[in-house]
Structure 1
Amino acid sequence: MKTILIVDDEPRTREGVRKVLEAWSAGQYEIALASNGIEALDWLSQHEASLLITDIRMPEIGGLDLVEKINHMPHPPVVIIISGHPEFDYAQRALQFGVVEYLLKPLDKIKLIRAVELALKREESKNRIERMEKLVDPKLLDSVQEENSYSPQVQEAIQYLNEHLQKPLTMRDTAEHLHMNASYLSVLFKEQTGLTFSEYLTRKRVQRAKELLSGTRLSIGEVAEQVGYQTAKYFVKVFRSMEGVSPGQYRKTIMHSEESIQ
């Protein structure tokens, strides 16, 4: 369940926002409370929030200082600022920190709910982008974007590679299929893509494996077979060396982020 953290040193405002959001969410979100910035940071060090709603003026750590600190966290929540003061400098600084909305007290219930809905949509988009970044290999993405500038021989080699990922594949096989000298194709491939044939093939296989891990229920062994590895053990070793986690751990991370979207 996603969590909304409300931070305000005024108990009346804090409880008022909580009641409005509990009625609106009908149990779909957990509502957590903190009475000041220090309490909020302590809570965020142990939990994750999708949305932070914070007052701007609080003792010790104000709302903007709180936002600045959480921006350094691995997965910071999106933020709505509430304030009793329509001060331009505050609003401008809030925008610089990526705050979604700046609401003035006394809070209008409808405006509050609209701001919360907008903020949660923003958080959903952010999560979707993060998931895509986990799926995409940046070096392969650069290569695809440059593919039209490659020579016909290299383009044909890439096409052949893509069509035979599930089979044992070598530079010699590819060169023979294209009726080329393997050494010449090897030099040409590295020169134009910036990757050796072997590096490109490995990245393509891992990329395809990530797509299968995130989009299917195939076992690790079945995924290994689909992307051209004869043993699951070797596939796991290659995948871990590329991604820093095992295929199973990668799948759990992706599935968790999918399930967290409402």
Structure 2
Amino acid sequence: MKTILIVDDEPRTRLGIQKTLVAWSAGRHRIESAASGVEALEWLKANTIHIIITDVRMPEIDGLQMLEMLAMRGQLPVVIVISGYAEFEYAKKSLQLGAFEYLLKPLDKSILIDAVQKALKLDSSRERLDAMEKLVDPKLLEAGRDEARYGTVIKEAISYVNNHLQETISMKQVAELMHMNASYFSVLFKEQTGVTFSDYLTRRRLQRAKELLVTTRMPIWEIAEKVGYQTAKYFIKVFKDNEGVSPSQYRHQVMDTEQSIQ
């Protein structure tokens, strides 16, 4: 359930927006309201919102000042700004602060609902990006960016690892395939990729495991086998040591985010 916060010091406008959105939402979303920027900021200390609909002209702290404060807190949701003043500077400033939409009073109900629906889609796309970012190992991403500069041997070694994750792989085995001394291969791999061979192999296996956890309903024991671990118990230990949660917990966390996007 997404939360929408309406901030307006005019009771008639505030209650009118709330009544319209409650009827439209039909219980699908939580619709809250605040009578001032001060009240909204206080409420937001203990609550999370997805969409904020705010007037720009309010006493004490106006809507634009409130958005500036939320941005400083790193809390800025998708914002719809409303105003009775058709002034370009208000619209310009609100857009600079990250507002998604600027609506003029008196509000047309259909335009308001359309703006809220679009804002919810934008919020969902943000959540999807956040979820996908959780799948990416920053070390692998960094290594991938530099891959064009790797020597032929390291490129071939990485290609072999990526294509044989399901199998038992050792550094000695890969070094021999590359016709190299294992010690020299180890130094060369770390020098070019920035990580040890063992670390790269573990990260690559866990990266693939995370992809399978999110994109399939495959059981944990089967995923363990698919990424080269002989026992689910050891796979779970390695996963938890590196990710801070078990594979099942990871799947639950990310799939929850994905379900809220549909």
Q: Above 0.5 in TM-score?
A: yes
Distance 2:180 2:57 in 1: 71
Distance 2:106 2:26 in 1: 24
Describe the shift of the 1:207–1:30 C-alpha distance in structure 2 as closer, same or farther (beyond 3 A). same
1:135 counterpart SS class: coil
Distance 2:156 2:96 in 1: 47
Instruction: Output the amino acid matched with 1:246.
Output: S
The alignment status of 1:16 with 2:16, answered yes or no, reads yes
Distance 1:220 1:64 in 2: 49
Q: Which residue does the alignment assign to 2:78?
A: 78
Q: Which residue does the alignment assign to 1:208?
A: 208
How far the C-alpha of 1:216 sits from its partner, in A, is: 2.1
Describe the shift of the 1:8–1:248 C-alpha distance in structure 2 as closer, same or farther (beyond 3 A). same
Instruction: Output the amino acid matched with 1:49.
Output: I
How far the C-alpha of 1:168 sits from its partner, in A, is: 2.7
Distance 2:87 2:36 in 1: 21
Instruction: Output the amino acid matched with 1:119.
Output: A
How far the C-alpha of 1:72 sits from its partner, in A, is: 4.9
Q: Which residue does the alignment assign to 1:2?
A: 2
Describe the shift of the 1:76–1:250 C-alpha distance in structure 2 as closer, same or farther (beyond 3 A). farther
Q: Which residue does the alignment assign to 2:126?
A: 126
Distance 1:150 1:95 in 2: 44
Question: CA offsets per residue over residues 118-169 of structure 1, 9 Å max, x none?
Answer: 2222212211111111111122123223323322211111111112222332
Question: CA offsets per residue over residues 39-58 of structure 1, 9 Å max, x none?
Answer: 32343333332211111222
Q: Which residue does the alignment assign to 2:223?
A: 223
- How does 1:20-59 map onto structure 2 within 5 Å? 20-59=20-59
Describe the shift of the 1:74–1:249 C-alpha distance in structure 2 as closer, same or farther (beyond 3 A). farther
Distance 2:209 2:164 in 1: 14
Describe the shift of the 1:26–1:237 C-alpha distance in structure 2 as closer, same or farther (beyond 3 A). same
TM normalised by structure 1 equals: 0.89
Question: CA offsets per residue over residues 30-85 of structure 1, 9 Å max, x none?
Answer: 22222222332343333332211111222333212322233355664211111122
Q: Which moved more, 1:250-259 or 1:30-39?
A: 30-39
Q: Which residue does the alignment assign to 1:235?
A: 235
Distance 1:72 1:207 in 2: 33
Distance 2:86 2:183 in 1: 69
- Provide the aligned length of Structure 1 versus Structure 2: 262
Question: CA offsets per residue over residues 204-261 of structure 1, 9 Å max, x none?
Answer: 1111121122122233343333322334444334323433333233222201111111
Distance 1:250 1:53 in 2: 33
Instruction: Output the amino acid matched with 2:106.
Output: P
How far the C-alpha of 1:114 sits from its partner, in A, is: 2.7
Q: Which moved more, 1:136-145 or 1:73-82?
A: 73-82
Question: CA offsets per residue over residues 4-39 of structure 1, 9 Å max, x none?
Answer: 111112111112112332343344322222222233
Q: Which residue does the alignment assign to 2:194?
A: 194
Q: Which residue does the alignment assign to 2:149?
A: 149
Q: Which residue does the alignment assign to 1:109?
A: 109
Distance 2:177 2:251 in 1: 35
Structure 1 residue runs without a partner (length 5+): none
Q: Which residue does the alignment assign to 1:261?
A: 261
TM normalised by structure 2 equals: 0.89
Structure 2 residue runs without a partner (length 5+): none
Distance 2:194 2:224 in 1: 26
Assess if the C-alpha contact under 8 Å between 2:125 and 2:261 holds in 1: no
Give % identity: 60
Distance 1:78 1:32 in 2: 15
